[in-house]
């Protein structure tokens, strides 16, 4: 698809400086811009690139004033970064506008689906499934019995959604994710073996949730594992049974949350964090990458380390930790001096 500068300015409520009929058909970074591409400039550190970019159109802040002549046509907007993000979203939606049921695929006769469904080939939709409008299910997906999926949901290739799962509106689940598999529940027997505890609950994912590739969310033993609205999960995250994640919390890759832990709203959790089970994590908590959490956390705490403690205390302690070999050497030298003094006095 091709768009003119005038059309793009209309979408963004922007002002064209240059050729309003300039056309673009792809997006690019400003330093890699080429003819026919659209780019943006928001960070002043990249200002020098705009004078040499081959991009046909560049989105800039209204405050930007060039210091020399430009080849690129500018579109001035209030916030260039947000405007470009809006175009990326528009482009992504246009790119993913597939519809129809490809073959071979299976959809149970007693399942229901709304308008503009896309079901990719080699996908399976089980009994009593309800799919909303504008649902996109890419190839090689499994949707188990009694699953409910809202409107404007995209499920990327190779995703497995087990029975009874409930997914809200405007969600995206990326390739290779498994939603609703058994929680890790086993009871020890007297002879040292383990007996599996049936996991009869489900997973509930509310509106506007994004789930990264190869992330796993286990269904509850009883009740529900709940991902509240606005949550953003990165790739390769493990959410165990009966966990609850509060609204607008974001979690980076390779983090694991053990069973029955409750995480509050607006938390930010870095990559490779391990969180023990049956904990309460408050609202607005910040946990730095590679931390280990083994206690309840109050609202607004900022933590780092394993086991975690206050971020400021961790930073101060780390300075001493780095100097530990030198400190130990100095202590050993002081110890020798004290012993020598004692021996001298005794002599």
- The catalytic site residues sit at 241
For residue 55, give the nearest of 69, 36, 42 by alpha carbon. Answer: 36
CA–chain centroid gap for 49, Å, is 30
Q: How many CB atoms lie within 10 A of CB 193?
A: 9
In contact, 240 and 216? CB cutoff 8 Å: no
Half-sphere exposure of 235 (CA within 13 A, CB side): 5
In contact, 74 and 17? CB cutoff 8 Å: yes
Write phi, then psi, for 236 (nearest 5 degrees). 55, 50
Q: What angle do CA 333, 334, 336 make, to 5 degrees?
A: 65
Task: Please tell me what DSSP assigns to residue 338.
Answer: H
Residue ranges of alpha helices (H) inside 74-224 are 80-95
Rounded CA separation 284/290 (Å):
18
Rounded CA separation 210/217 (Å):
13
Task: Please tell me what DSSP assigns to residue 227.
Answer: E
| Residue 330: its H or E element | helix 324-346
SS3 152: coil
């Amino acid at each position: 698809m091709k768009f003119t500068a005038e059309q793009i300015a209309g979408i963004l409520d922007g002002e064209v400086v240059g050729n309003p009929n300039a056309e673009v058909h792809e997006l690019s970074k400003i330093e890699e811009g080429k003819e026919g591409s659209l780019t943006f400039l928001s960070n002043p550190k990249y200002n020098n690139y705009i004078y040499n970019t081959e991009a046909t159109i560049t989105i800039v802040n209204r405050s930007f004033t060039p210091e020399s002549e430009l080849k690129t046509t500018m579109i001035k907007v209030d916030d260039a970064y947000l405007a470009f993000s809006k175009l990326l979203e528009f482009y992504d939606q246009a790119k993913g506008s597939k519809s129809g049921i490809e073959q071979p695929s299976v959809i149970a006769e007693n399942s229901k689906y709304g308008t503009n469904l896309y079901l990719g080939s080699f996908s399976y939709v089980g009994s009593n499934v309800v799919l909303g409008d504008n649902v996109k299910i890419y190839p090689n997906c499994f949707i188990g019995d009694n699953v409910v999926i809202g409107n404007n949901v995209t499920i990327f290739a190779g995703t497995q959604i087990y029975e009874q799962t409930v997914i809200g509106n405007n969600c995206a689940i990326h390739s290779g994710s498994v939603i609703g598999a058994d929680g890790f529940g086993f009871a020890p027997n007297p002879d040292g073996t383990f007996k599996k505890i049936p996991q009869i609950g489900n997973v509930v994912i509310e509106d506007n949730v994004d789930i990264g590739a190869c992330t796993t969310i286990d269904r509850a033993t009883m009740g529900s594992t709940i991902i509240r609205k606005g949550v953003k999960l990165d790739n390769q995250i493990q959410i165990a049974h009966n966990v609850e994640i509060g609204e607008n919390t974001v979690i980076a890759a390779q983090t694991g949350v053990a069973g029955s832990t409750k995480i509050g709203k607006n938390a930010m959790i870095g990559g490779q964090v391990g969180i023990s089970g049956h904990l309460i994590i408050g609202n607005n908590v910040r946990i730095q990458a590679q931390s280990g959490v083994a206690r309840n956390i109050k609202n607004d705490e900022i933590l780092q380390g394993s086991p975690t403690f206050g971020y400021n205390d961790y930073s101060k302690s780390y300075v001493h930790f780095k100097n530990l070999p030198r400190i130990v050497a100095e202590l050993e030298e002081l110890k020798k001096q004290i012993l020598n003094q004692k021996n001298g006095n005794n002599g």
